[in-house]
């Protein structure tokens, strides 16, 4: 009985702290992020940064399956509290990776189920620069046009952490660009149809987040796209809300905090049609 009570207490603890970014005092797109703005952001590094990730409790990181094609994390470090890939990082914390769990139905050809979990070698301590992000529960809705933010250290040249504000692009509209069979219900899209803002190489595995009631919730995992910031081709992300059961099955203690995300109004994506996508009956 004592064990059960302790487990419930810890689960409530992670729910209480997830998605809080105490130092996130500004919201702008396409500029370098201030230290502590995105405290769940993880840099996955071998001899160099190769993918992003997000901290979801004190010992687990969420990332993309395609970041670990060999399903091995030998020689890989998860670096937290990092502001820049270059220079001084006083809040830096590094862990090796104990376990890699790639989704069993991941398809490297289609990128369906492009999601993986990494167990750190030891827990990290939370502070203003290292905090877990919340996750969206099953059935969460993300209507077309909802504002999101994507963060990471992709192809931006100066090594600083970048934050970009982009809207959700509904799956029907996204299928008009990529083809109906290329975008599954396990995916979501975000970006400007005019181009110019997008995640890019090096951002893979990183978080796409939204803010709801002062909590930051990870809607997507950076997965793939047609180039970077190309017109008419928004970025494609793994839809995290589809994986609550799978995540909770893998993480048996200290479960991440899940929050239901509800979009208000009417989803404009339902009115989208194109030669590849038939109108809603």
Give catalytic residue positions: 66, 114, 204
Residue 214 C-beta-side C-alpha neighbours within 13 Å: 5
Q: Check the CA dihedral 26-30-33-37 and report its sign.
A: positive
Distances (CA, A) of 2 to 7, 11, 251, 262: 9, 14, 20, 36
Give the integer Cα–Cα distance in Å for 208 and 53: 10
Could you identify the residue written with the tokens 């090796």?
Answer: 96
The beta strands (E) that lie in the chain are given as 31-32, 41-45, 49-55, 60-63, 77-80, 93-102, 116-120, 135-136, 147-152, 162-169, 187-190, 207-212, 215-224, 235-239, 258-259
């Amino acid at each position: 009985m004592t064990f059960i009570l302790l487990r419930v207490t810890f689960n409530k603890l992670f729910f209480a702290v997830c998605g809080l970014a105490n130092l996130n005092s500004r919201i702008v797109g396409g500029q370098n992020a201030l230290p502590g703005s995105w405290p769940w952001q993880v840099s996955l590094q071998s001899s160099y940064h190769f993918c992003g990730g997000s901290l979801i409790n004190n010992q687990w990181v969420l990332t993309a399956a395609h970041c670990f094609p060999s399903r091995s994390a030998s020689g890989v470090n998860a670096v937290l509290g990092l502001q820049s890939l270059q220079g001084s990082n006083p809040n830096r914390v590094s862990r090796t990776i104990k376990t890699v769990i790639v989704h069993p139905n991941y398809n490297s050809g289609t990128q369906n189920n492009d999601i993986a979990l990494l167990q750190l070698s030891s827990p990290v301590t939370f502070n203003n620069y290292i905090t877990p992000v919340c996750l969206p529960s099953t059935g969460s809705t993300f209507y077309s046009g909802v504002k999101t933010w994507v963060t990471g250290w992709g192809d931006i040249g100066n090594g600083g952490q970048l934050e970009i504000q982009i809207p959700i692009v509904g799956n029907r509209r996204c299928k008009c660009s990529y083809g109906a069979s290329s975008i599954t219900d396990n995916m979501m899209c975000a970006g400007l149809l005019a181009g110019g803002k997008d995640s890019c190489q090096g951002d893979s595995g990183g978080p796409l987040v939204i803010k709801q009631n002062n909590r930051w919730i990870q809607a997507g995992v950076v997965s793939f796209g047609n180039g970077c910031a190309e017109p008419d081709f928004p970025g494609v992300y793994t839809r995290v809300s589809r994986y609550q059961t799978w995540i909770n099955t893998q993480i048996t203690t200290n479960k991440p905090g899940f929050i239901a995300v509800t979009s208000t109004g009417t989803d404009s994506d339902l009115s989208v049609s194109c030669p590849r996508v038939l109108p809603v009956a």
